[in-house]
């Protein structure tokens, strides 16, 4: 869902810039709770851009409602039937397919954000119903690339945990930004 929202809110409707979407995702990562809370940030910025603070607050509240009300309804109305679904082999296969699709959506989201973090400019190339985001190679941010490589080395080579990797890359990024201006 985040991949769809990111692409539509930024590219489709122009409610946010890629940088604002990245800030929203970063904000959602720093707070306890589900990552989906970034939708409230997107809703607020869309409303704020359309009509100021009052519209931003209204859009924010509406976004939270339409994000969570269906989830609670599905849980409360569907809970009695969930156990029966586990015994159904046809549904087990369908759920495996859904899981594979979710992995694809997560990969799409990672690629979308990765391109916008590493490159200052990304162009959309459309070929009929299919579109592809292509980075402008001259807009590569060497610091972002170095930090991504450092994070990969910390995680996969040094086997540091997520929090230590985050700490190392945050400190190195801060020092580099202060040194480079």
Q: At what angle do helices 53-86 and 38-51 cross, to 10 degrees?
A: 150
User: What is the rounded distance in angstroms from the CA atom of residue 74 to the CA atom of residue 149?
Assistant: 41
Question: Which pTM value belongs to this model?
Answer: 0.57
CA distance 149 to 155: 10
Segment 28-81, tens digit of pLDDT: 777 767 777 889 999 999 999 999 999 999 999 999 999 889 888 888 888 777
104-138 pLDDT, tens per residue? 988 888 898 899 999 999 999 998 898 889 999 99
Q: How is residue 1 written in tokens?
A: 């869902």
- The model's confidence at residue 165, banded by pLDDT at 50, 70 and 90, is very high
**CA-CA distance, 90 to 80, in Å (whole number)?**
19
Letter string b/e over residues 56-88, b meaning 16 or more CB atoms within 10 A of that residue's CB: bebbbeebeeebeeeeeeeeeeeeeeeeeeeee
């Amino acid at each position: 869902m985040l991949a769809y929202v990111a692409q539509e809110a930024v590219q489709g409707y122009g409610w946010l810039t890629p940088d604002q979407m990245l800030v929203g995702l970063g904000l959602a990562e720093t707070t306890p709770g589900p990552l989906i809370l970034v939708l409230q940030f997107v809703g607020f910025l869309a409303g704020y851009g359309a009509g100021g603070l009052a519209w931003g607050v209204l859009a924010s509240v509406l976004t939270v409602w339409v994000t969570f009300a269906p989830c609670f309804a599905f849980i409360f109305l569907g809970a009695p039937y969930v156990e029966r679904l586990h015994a159904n082999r046809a549904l087990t296969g369908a759920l495996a397919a859904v899981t594979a699709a979710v992995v694809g959506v997560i990969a799409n989201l990672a690629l979308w954000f990765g391109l916008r973090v590493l490159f200052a400019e990304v162009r959309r190339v459309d070929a009929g119903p299919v579109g592809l985001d292509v980075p402008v190679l001259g807009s590569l941010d060497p610091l972002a690339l170095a930090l991504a490589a450092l994070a990969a080395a910390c995680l996969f080579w040094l086997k540091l945990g997520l929090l230590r990797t985050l700490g190392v890359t945050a400190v190195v990024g801060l020092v580099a930004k202060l040194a480079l201006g």
